[in-house]
Amino acid sequence: MIRSRAKYHLGQVVRHKKHPFRGVVFDVDPQFSNTDEWYASIPEDSRPSKEQPFYHLLAENEQSYYVAYVSEQNLVADYSGEPVDHPDIPDLFGPFEDGHYPLHFQLN
């Protein structure tokens, strides 16, 4: 069994290292848990290792809002102090405060 510890937490604002988007972490997989087709669609020279945390993000870029699935190696913490405007954030989180979003509910 692979043991991994997530670097980022629920409600934290993060930024992609290579692509111009940022988002709020709303779920974490301890290792890759998407489809083989999704993984194969990533260019081979850019494919991240499956044996690391992967994050589900409510993401935004200059053109749109979407859900992203990103490996830990491709993320950095966003310390801009700017909120993320994704329209689904109020469904999961409270108002932006101190650089992160607090959860609305208790998780198991």
Tens-digit pLDDT profile for residues 84-102:
999 999 999 999 999 999 9
For 44-58, the pLDDT digits (tens) are: 998 999 999 999 999
Q: Which residue has the tokens 């990533």?
A: 42
All residues at 6 or more sequence positions from 50 whose CB lies less than 8 Å from its CB, including other chains? 31, 32, 39
pLDDT value at 74 more than 80? yes
Categorize the per-residue pLDDT at 106 as very low, low, confident or very high, splitting at 50, 70 and 90.
low
pLDDT of residue 76: 98
Q: Domain residues of the chain, as ranges?
A: 12-91
Which pLDDT band, with edges at 50, 70 and 90, does 107 fall under? low
pTM listed for this prediction: 0.91
